[in-house]
Amino acid sequence: MLITKNYFEKYTDKETFSKLKIDKTIPLFLDKIEEQYQDLVAVGSSLKNVTYKELISDVKKTNQVISNEQIPFKSNVGVICNNNYDFVKTALGVMAYGAVATLLPVQLDEKTIFGCCMKYQLTCLFYEKSIAEKIEFAKKMAPMVKFIEIAEYNVDEKEYNYDIKETDPACIVLTGGTTGKSKGAILSHLAVMTGTLNGAYGLKEVFNDVYYSIMPLTHVFGLIRNLLTSLYTGSTIYFCLDKRTMFKEIKEVKPTILIVVPALAEIFLNLTKQFGLDFLGGNLKTIICGGASVPPYLVEEFPKFGVTLLPGYGLTETAPIAALTPEYKPMIGSAGKPVICADIKIDNPNENGEGEILIKSTTLMLGYYEDEETTNDVIKDGYFHSGDIGYINEDGYLFITGRCKNVIVTQNGKNIYPEEIELLLGNIPEIKESMVYGKQDAEKKNEKELIITAKIIPNYEEIEKEHGKDLTEEQVYDIIWEKVKEVNRQLTSYKAIKRIEIKNDEFEKTTTMKIKRYVELKKES
């Protein structure tokens, strides 16, 4: 299904739509926001508000610093920094210079940082002062890399590299968290800028918003849909500097839009039910939710408080949005409609229309860094093979039902997608979180049949509220099992959960709060 720009005109007010034009490279994008928003606040904080004019000045100074080090164009330049203004000016500066911003998560340990210097052949690494100790090992082991501490540079401003082509690489974003194998997805300038523009479609109002950024800026969702779309629309963005003070900051900042993963949206909903919308600042109008499957009840419940929650779908490799929900016409349970210039189709659909989701788009990555084999495995005939299972209904809405790698195949050849069952379990108040998988019966090792098993973290607060305090482990188990039976009644017999395991410690998670299934399953082996 190919969606064009004209499609979204139906779901965006005319004045807004007329302003939405693509800037094909980072320098052209920076020129535009400087011209249109000069004196508006681009990045806000309790210490200092930075205007768009000041941001552009700092980006150009970063350009000069890179030039002084004689860094070659198109070479890979690392950026490792917390979510803050230093990250913004540095990442934009690197891309505007014509180098490739290689974005390293700040939580990496010293040996992994060194490994990334080698793997991505970094010519230079910008690092934040607060993590200087973690850089020392790389400095000793990689003398060919130039290390630059991010600072307020006392240098002249250098103009951008306007020779950059739209097909040139802009950044490398690491991906892979749920499988354990990290890959570097190379995104072109056109992919990054189209992804930025996609974030603005389908909304009633998109300009002059107030963003509060929680997502890591090294993640494509945080970088493009959060940071760059906020700048594109002349909005002000604040960064969560410390999770411990997040709610205090939200109340002070009074954001109008939040970009979050479903797990965080659920927390926000529960707090809003308890304390009212003022707990989230009182001005919140829109939540963009992605990074994992969105439980339908979140879409249904938030409007009761005057907030619209809009699910979306995408991957690092699609920079990031492949589908989004138009604010004018949401559909409960769906991930929305394909974005502009995106061709989404279902490969080899079954009797229910379900199959692997294939995506062709101008936002598609150039490939994985120095990994032609894996690139060719996932991009075939111009389509990216997402590994996600879904279907498109008659109205063109995309529904995500599971992951190819997570599929449980029964002895009679039936496919079970655990995410479908987990979504149902997630609607039960007594269940905090779950992971469904196929487990071999210890007494039947030679048989192929797997037992559908659910690892469940109980919501003890809700259990105490509804069923009383001082319950034994057996009583908690019985309560959860009765709730699981209710879910089983909604499923066909072969999908029914046969066994549950109560888990009292947290699942290991990626930065987008997805369960690291490979870690949990390894514990079973």
Average pLDDT of the segment spanning 490-514: 87
pLDDT at 303 over 80: yes
pLDDT of residue 355: 92
Average pLDDT of the segment spanning 476-496: 93
pLDDT of residue 446: 46
Ordered domains of the chain (ranges, CATH): 1-23+189-360+380-401 (3.40.50.12780), 26-37+46-164 (3.40.50.980), 407-522 (3.30.300.30)
pLDDT at 416 over 60: yes
pLDDT at 203 over 60: yes
Average pLDDT, the chain: 90
Question: In this prediction, what percent of the chain has a pLDDT beyond 70?
Answer: 93
pLDDT of residue 411: 67
Chain centre to alpha carbon of residue 183: 16
pTM equals: 0.83
pLDDT at 512 over 70: no
pLDDT of residue 179: 44
Lowest mean pLDDT among 299-303, 426-430, 521-525: 521-525
The per-type count for the chain, helices as H runs and strands as E runs, is 18, 27
Chain centre to alpha carbon of residue 94: 22
Could you tell me which residues come within 8 angstroms of residue 523 by beta carbon, excluding any fewer than 6 positions away?
none
pLDDT grade for 296, boundaries at 50, 70 and 90: confident
pLDDT tens digits for 32-42? 999 999 999 99
Top-confidence residue, 242 or 208: 208
Lowest mean pLDDT among 88-92, 175-179, 260-264, 322-326: 175-179
Top-confidence residue, 203 or 223: 223
CB neighbour burial string for 29-40, b if at least 16 within 10 angstroms, e if fewer: bbbebbeebeee
pLDDT of residue 518: 76
Tell me the range of 58-67, 306-315, 485-494 where mean pLDDT is highest.
58-67
pLDDT of residue 6: 57
DSSP 8-state code for residue 336: B
pLDDT grade for 10, boundaries at 50, 70 and 90: low
Q: Where are the beta strands (DSSP E) in 89-164?
A: 100-103, 124-127, 146-149
pLDDT grade for 13, boundaries at 50, 70 and 90: low
3-state secondary structure of 79: strand
Average pLDDT of the segment spanning 67-90: 97
Top-confidence residue, 33 or 182: 33
Only one residue has tokens 């269940």, namely 431
pLDDT at 445 over 60: no
DSSP 8-state code for residue 327: T
Structure tokens at 370: 């120095």
- Beta strands 308-314 and 286-289 are parallel
Average pLDDT of the segment spanning 435-439: 90
How far from 354 is each of 129, 296, 488, CA to CA, in Å? 49, 19, 21
Lowest mean pLDDT among 174-178, 290-294, 332-336, 415-419: 174-178
pLDDT of residue 443: 61
Query: How many residues can be counted in the chain?
Result: 525
3-state secondary structure of 258: strand
pLDDT of residue 3: 47
